[in-house]
Structure 1
Amino acid sequence: MSQQECYQEFNEKDYEDVTPMSIETGLKDELCRIMYTDEYKQLMGWTRAMLSKNELTPRAIRLTSKLIDLAPAFYTIWNYRYNIFSHLLQDCPDKESWTAKELDWLDEITLNNPKNYQIWSYRQSLLTNLVPNPTMKRETPIMNMMIDDDSKNYHVWSYRKWVVKFTGDYSQELGFIDRLIQKDVYNNSAWSHRMFYLKNIEPDNVVINEEINYVKDKISSVPQNISSWNYLRGLYKLFKSNQYDSEIIEFITPFVNNLSIDQNNDQLPEIQSSYALELLAYIYSLTDQRELSTHYYKCLATKYDPIRSNYWNHKIELLSQ
């Protein structure tokens, strides 16, 4: 047995000795008959037969490759492939080379199936149990390609969080995230990953202050961006004990055009950011200035964010309790 046998071109003649187990269709209580192609029925027939005998051979690997090309979301086939691969790997003298080959194959499948979570589950199982020396460096190119293609692909972001924690390598994350935010400051997935990064590196106060300056710069360039405001609020909640000093309040206030408590609805000015007003209302709700907080929530309910008026009125009710 050789590595090459597992990845050579698929050939139907290799399965002539296999009696296929047919897929049952046209059953009495069948609500909707699935129109399988002849190719799929043939491949599944062989696979079911070999799976029933737990055949763990190179030709079984090749068969799963062919079937995954046709049905990449078929979880059973992914599980079968894992069992085959882990079995063959036991007697392999060069496990690192073989697992690298499997990951190369998986990269090709991934590029053609960006929203398939089974791919990432399979990859995680390989790294956890079979890859001798898993590294962030090996995983970075495919993840970057997938996120560049779809910067909000939930499956890739989830996997990236897992693999960073699994390898313990956070060295590439800040530069990677900054590139994405520079490209699209509204990318909430990137902001979320930045917070994930900070929470896991145990930053000191110098780093947090640098982050506050970083997000203030992004807010100044695009004031009406909920992602950056939530990030700022998260920094103070997680790393500043929810203590907002006068400096940050002075930064926020101009975005609401110095809105004051003595202005009625007819006098309310245009503001740059309703999210800034929301944050100020929250900050003042933590202090003895609840009257000002109530006023800001009323302004949100009546003028600046009336679509969520029920929510703002609820916040006002909570303040009066």
Structure 2
Amino acid sequence: MDALEPELEKILDFEQYGTLTPIAQDDGVNPLAKINYSKEYEQGMAYFRALAAKQEYSIRAFNLTCFLIMHNPAHYTVWAYRFQVLNHIPELIPQELAWLDSVIEDFQKNYQVWHHRQKLLGITKDYKHELEFTKDMFASDAKNYHVWSYRLWILQSFQDYTEELSLTSYLLEDDVYNNSAWNHRFYVLFESNAKLERSLQDELDFLNDKLSKSPDNQSAWNYLSGILKKVGPNQLGGIANQLEKQLPSSNRFLLEFLAEYDPTRSKVIYEKLANEVDTDNQLLWNWMIQQVPRT
């Protein structure tokens, strides 16, 4: 193998840790599509295989995984080995968390980094730090699937939902069309084990305020439809009447909700949608008319 790149020579530190025989990648005799790795990465992986073969969980192994991750952050085998090193040298975990926080902007859409944080939290149990961390992440991207999924896992694991209503209220104040925030709020209030002092009427008032200001917001209408499925029509008479008075009778989303809320009006509403309000989707509404049970 060629002479070591200076950074790798420093990381591997043969004088302190001992020499290693690199293990080259075996692509076979005639690889179909040989990947053109950089020299640094190819060398780093050859020595990584050597470390893994001898199950060395040392500082140099830790530093080498950092080097490789910065070249290829999706390499889950390297992430898994890094976690094993941390298991053997747990005093590195605070340093690891600080490093993760510093590089997360580059890795925020990477599955492996979130799984790594999740495994570390299984050791530290410091979920409040991670909740604050995810909240900070929403400042740069309030719809990041990975951040929301990680936060949900934390909540389900540690059963502390005390900040979720204020968080989603804040995010929806900033962007009422944030479907991720609506979805999270619905889970917390209607599907989780959270014991929150929040009446249904308070939530309906909150929702009515959002819909009156953004009547075309399908996320909010879906939220109301979800509540309807959870609590039934008897508890939604107030908001249904309010919305019907406040909004134009030509509002497609209002009409869809009213058809769901009051099945006795469904056929008439779908006919209005098909022939007047939403003729571009006439085939859909005609099909919906056929689904209405005959009396």
2:269 alignment partner in structure 1: 296
Equivalent of 2:167, from 162, 168, 176? 176
How far apart in 1 are the matches of 2:275 and 2:30? 60
| Other-structure match for 1:111 | 105
Question: Cα–Cα, structure 1 residues 250 and 114, in superposed 2: closer, same or farther, change >3 Å?
Answer: same
Q: Which range moves more in the overlay, 161-170 or 216-225?
A: 161-170
The alpha-carbon deviation at position 255 of structure 1 amounts to 5.5
1:232-243 to 2 correspondence within 5 Å?
Answer: 232-238=224-230, 240-243=231-234
AA aligned to 2:159 is G
Q: Flag the 1:244–1:140 CA change in 2: closer, same or farther, 3 A.
A: closer
Cα distance, 1:36 vs. partner?
Answer: 0.5
CA distance in 1, matches of 2:134, 2:183: 16
1:210 aligns with one of 202, 212, 217: 202
Partner of residue 84, structure 2: 83
Structure 1 residue 194 displacement after superposition: 0.9
* Residues in 2 aligned to 1:182 and 1:279: alpha-carbon distance in whole angstroms: 23
CA distance in 2: counterparts of 1:61 and 1:176, whole angstroms: 36
Are the counterparts in 2 of residues 127 and 134 from structure 1 also a CA contact under 8 Å? yes
Is the 8 Å Cα contact of residues 212 and 247 (structure 2) preserved in structure 1? no
- Report the RMSD for the aligned CA atoms in angstroms: 2.3
Q: What's the counterpart of residue 4 of structure 1?
A: none
Q: CA deviation at 1:228?
A: 1.0
1:125 aligns with 2:103: no
Q: Does 1:284 align with 2:283?
A: no
Q: Decide whether the 8 Å contact of 2:12 with 2:64 is kept in 1.
A: no
Matched, 1:35 2:8: no
> Quick one: which of 217, 221, 225 aligns to 1:229?
221
- Give ranges in structure 1 of 5+ residues lacking alignment: 1-8, 90-94, 259-270
Q: 1:151 to 1:320 in 2, by over 3 A?
A: same
What is residue 240 of structure 2 aligned with on the other side? Answer: 249
Q: Distance in 2 between matches of 1:244 and 1:102?
A: 50
> Quick check: 1:298–1:312 contact (8 Å CA) kept in 2?
yes
Change (3 A) 1:310 1:19: farther
| Cα displacement (A) at 1:229 | 1.1
C-alpha distance in structure 2 between counterparts of 1:13 and 1:157, whole Å: 38
**Structure 2: where are the runs of 5+ without partners?**
1-7
Q: Deviations over 1:148-193 (max 9, x none)?
A: 2111111110001111222222122222111110110000001111
Cα distance change of structure 1 residues 146 and 246 upon mapping to structure 2, 3 Å threshold: closer
Which residues in structure 2 correspond to 1:68-79 (within 5 Å)?
Answer: 68-79=69-80
Name the residue aligned to 1:47: 48
Q: Is residue 80 of structure 2 the alignment partner of residue 102 of structure 1?
A: no
CA distance in 1 between partners of 2:137 and 2:183 (Å): 17
SS of the aligned residue for 2:126 comes to coil
Q: Structure 1's 293 and 241: CA in aligned 2 closer, same or farther, altered over 3 A?
A: closer
Residues of 1 paired with 2:102 and 2:29: CA distance? 37
User: Percent identity, aligned pairs only?
Assistant: 34
* CA contact 1:20–1:46 (8 Å) conserved in 2: yes
Moved more, 173-182 or 19-28: 19-28
Partners of 1:244 and 1:186 lie apart in 2 by 25
Q: TM-score, normalised by structure 2?
A: 0.87
Aligned length: 282
Residue in 1 that maps onto 2:22: 20
Determine the structure 2 residue equivalent to 1:319: 292
**Residue of structure 2 equivalent to 1:146:** 137
> Take 2:195 and 2:282, find their aligned partners in 1: how far apart are those partners?
38
TM value normalised by structure 1: 0.80
Amino acid at match of 2:142: S
Is the contact made by 1:10 and 1:63 (CA closer than 8 Å) also made in structure 2?
Answer: no
**8 A Cα contact 2:12 2:60, kept in partner:** no
Give the aligned partner of residue 134 of structure 1: 126
Residue identity matched to 1:112: D
